[in-house]
Chain A
Amino acid sequence: MMTFTLWDIVRNLLLGGALTLLLSMVAFVLGGLAALALLFARIAKHRPPRGLAQIYIEIFQGTPLLLQLFTLFFGLSLLGLDVPAWLAAGVGLMLFSSAYLAEIWRGCVESVPRGQWEAGASLALTYREQMRHVILPQAMRMAIAPTVGFAVQVVKGTAVTSIIGFAELTKTGSMIANATYQPFLVYGLVAIGYFLLCYPLSWYAQRLERRLYATRTN
């Protein structure tokens, strides 16, 4: 039987970790762009875009990520579309992220007091100008900390994509564990890998939150 050195294990895990990082970033960035579109639909003046965005968001928030991935991966292949695991993983996580980010950001936009809109309106700013110059700058400040916090959820969420066979950190870990019969060591290293990816983000989110809190109370 083949023998694995610790370096072999770590090297393979680093590769999986890189894919986890890549998948997280793609899902987060593309999901963020989609979330921006969803956000504007969700707070639009007209009912149809608001309703559609709300249905979308509720579907993705109301079902497990795992099932969303299954549906994408197996559902589409049932229709004869051969979706590779990486694509299903990327698209699935992106859709998932977009729904959550849109909802986080909507909360921030709506927490800007009504009086701010009215002050903008009374100065003859249009809805778009009020949004752009008055509301969004304030909402964005509030959004930074929860958005970074959600990035942590996305990194951890990528683990689910191992189920459909995408060889990110967790999947790589389970393959190595099976081959080496050293599950404790391997999964321990996997956990450390996630921690190294997530901790800087959590730390940064907390710092941002503290700073925001400090400026509020000053």
Chain B
Amino acid sequence: MPLVRTNRLHKHFGKNHVLKGINLEVEEGEVVAIVGRSGSGKSTLLRALNGLETIDDGTIEVDGTALVAEQGDLRALRQKVGMVFQQFNLFPHLSAGQNVMLAPQIVKDTSKEEAEVIARSTLARVGLEHKFDAFPDQLSGGQQQRVAIARALAMSPKVLLCDEITSALDPELVNEVLMVVRQLASEGMTLIMVTHEMRFAREVGNKLVFMYEGRIHESGDPQTMFANPATPEFANFISSLD
């Protein structure tokens, strides 16, 4: 059984039909890269997967927890789905360590001591154990994004969603974040990432999803898709990249 499965997912913003029946299956340990033009619904799909957007029709299932259009246990779903945002969204009033410790203490009733142990080890995973006491405004963009990844990991999610997590970074800081993602992928973390880094998507992804006008237009093995685009729209998309 796939870890994540959406079934005929629909989403409208007013008259704008943004997701038109998305059927997506992600196996445990799979790294899925979602690509597509601006406005094709990539972010909306990702946000729907952890309940940041309500859905109008269809179902989402993550590791056995189901979400049926507007009903379902959001809290249970969100504990299984971590999210990293383009703009980091670290809590500016908390240190890096506190950012990571907050949710386990509140949501999982983890003791403070235990939360600190978790925070130190997840910060170590992103190479920032020495920044435990630094505040977000004392960190570079790349470091902030890595803390945001650690913060999501501290909840031990089954799957991590990443929405263009390097797009807000200066070019020289992109690599340190991609390295962390690559590391997570190699450790077997299930990842669904929207990205504009095509090379990264090809190298790290097991599966490529091309979204076009609210639908999954084409998906499959990245190497094959790039070598032999099955649809003219995807061929068009990749040729517009270079």
Task: List residues of A whose CB falls within 8 A of some B CB.
Answer: 113, 115-116, 118-119, 121-126, 129, 133-134, 137-138, 141, 218
Contacts and interface: CB of A to CB of B under 8 A. Distances in A.
B91 A116 contact: yes
10 contacts: A115-B85, A115-B87, A115-B89, A119-B89, A121-B51, A121-B78, A122-B152, A123-B102, A124-B155, A125-B106
Contacts of A115: 85, 87, 89
Interface string B79-113: 10111010101111100000000110011000000
Given A124-B75, A126-B75, A138 B93 contact: yes
Contact of A218 (B82, B85, B137): B137
B118 to A, nearest CB: 13
Interface residues of B, number: 26
User: Which of B51, B74, B81, B93 is packed against the most chain A CB atoms within 10 Å?
Assistant: B93
A123 B152 contact: yes
User: Which of B91, B107, B152, B155 is packed against the most chain A CB atoms within 10 Å?
Assistant: B91
User: Which of A118, A122, A141 is packed against the most chain B CB atoms within 10 Å?
Assistant: A122
Interface of B: 50-52, 74-75, 78-79, 81-83, 85, 87, 89-93, 102-103, 106-107, 137, 148, 151-152, 155
Given A123-B102, A124-B155, A141 B93 contact: yes
A122 B107 contact: no
Nearest to B78: A124
A129 B74 CA distance: 14
A116 B88 CA distance: 10
A122 B107 CA distance: 11
Contact of B107 (A118, A123, A141, A218): A123
A122 B92 contact: no
Contacts of B83: 122
